[in-house]
Structure 1
C-alpha cells in the first residue's frame, strides 16, 4: 500500500472524506478533507471545523513519520470554491452547480460551433433525461455588464450541451464563482467563505 493510500485510509477511518492530496516541490503536503455527504440531508450544510483539521493532523503526523514520508509542512483544510469533483457521489451532490471540466481527449464535434480540439468547458452540471452519464449546459454569449442595454435585434446564442462519462474526464472542479447576495449565495460560495485549515511543521522541527 502506498503512503497516499494510507493517508486516504486514515482520513476515511476517522469519518471524513479525502477530497484532494497534493505534495509540492517546496515540501508542503496539503490534505483536503470534507464531511461525508448524506443525500438524505440535502440542503443541510455542514462544515469542517478547525478541530476536525487538528484531529486529522495529529493522526497524519504520526502516520507520515512511521511511513518515513519526506515533507516540511503539513496543511489539512476544507475545500475551497474550486473544489475538485472526484467520483459519482461528488457529481450527484453538486448537480445544478456551475463546473469546469477538462476532457482527456478533444471532443471532436463536427457540425456545431464547438471547436474540434476543445477540451475545457464551463457550464451547469446536469443529469441527462436518460439518467446515464452526465452533461453540462452553457451558452457562449459574453457576460453582460450590469445596466447594459440589450439590443432587440440581438439574437441569443444557442445553448450548448455536452454529454460525457466520468471516464472521459481528466479534471472536474466547481467553477470559482462567488456570490455575496446572502441567502442567494451558491453552496460553492458558502464553502469558500467557510474554508478552514490547520498547518503545522514536521513533527520535531
Structure 2
C-alpha cells in the first residue's frame, strides 16, 4: 500500500462516524499533489444534495481529528465538497447508488464502431455492467473496456 493510499484509508476511517452521525454518504477521499501543493479531499453527499454548511460541518470535525491523529507529515490543504455532477463512478458503492440511473460511458475499444453510450445502468458486477440503451436494447460492457463512466445530466 502506498503512503497516499494509507492516508486516504486512515482518513476514511476517521470520517465514517462523522458521516454516519450526520446521515451523509462518504463518496471518496483522495490525497493528491497539484501545482506543488498536497490536497486531502473528502467528497460527501446526501439525499437532496450537499450545502456549504454541510461541507463546513464535516471539514471542522475532520480537521480536529486529523490534528489529533497527525498521521500525514506533509503540509496539505483539506477540502470537503460534494462530488459534483460530472464525477466518475469508481467504487462499488458508486455503482450501487447509480442503479436505475442514466449514465454516460466512454470506452477504450468501440462496440459496433461506437465508443460512447448513454443509458440506464441496470446491473453490474466485478466483470461487467449492463446498460439499457435509449432504444430499449440491453448492452453488456466489460468493465475492463470502460475508460470513463459517470452519471448523465441534462441541462
Name the TM-score, length of structure 2 as normaliser.
Answer: 0.64
Whether 1:61 and 2:63 are equivalent positions in the alignment is yes
* Residue 89 of structure 1: how far off its partner (Å): 4.1
Specify the SS of the correspondent of 1:164: strand
Residue number in structure 1 paired with 2:86: 82
Write out aligned runs for 1:1-205 (5 A).
2-14=6-18, 15=20, 16-22=24-30, 23-26=32-35, 27=37, 28-35=39-46, 45-65=47-67, 66-102=70-106, 106=109, 109=111, 113-114=112-113, 118=115, 121-127=116-122, 134-138=129-133, 161-164=138-141, 169=146, 171-175=148-152, 177-179=153-155
Larger radius of gyration: 1
- RMSD value over aligned CA atoms? 3.4
Deviation track 1:139-173 (CA, whole Å, cap 9, x = no partner) reads 7xxxxxxxxxxxxxxxxxx7764313656645421
In structure 2, C-alpha distance between the alignment counterparts of 1:122 and 1:69, rounded to whole Å: 43
Question: Given the superposition, is the C-alpha separation of residues 24 and 122 from structure 1 closer, same or farther in structure 2, using an over 3 Å criterion?
Answer: farther
Q: 1:68 to 1:91 in 2, by over 3 A?
A: closer
Structure 1 unaligned segments of length 5 or more: list them. 36-44, 140-157, 180-205
Name the structure with the higher strand share.
2
| Structure 2 partner of 1:200 | none
Please state which structure has a larger fraction of its residues in helix. 2
Which of 1 and 2 has higher RCO (CA within 8 Å, sep 6+)? Answer: 1
Aligned with 1:47: secondary structure? coil
Secondary structure of 1:127 counterpart: strand
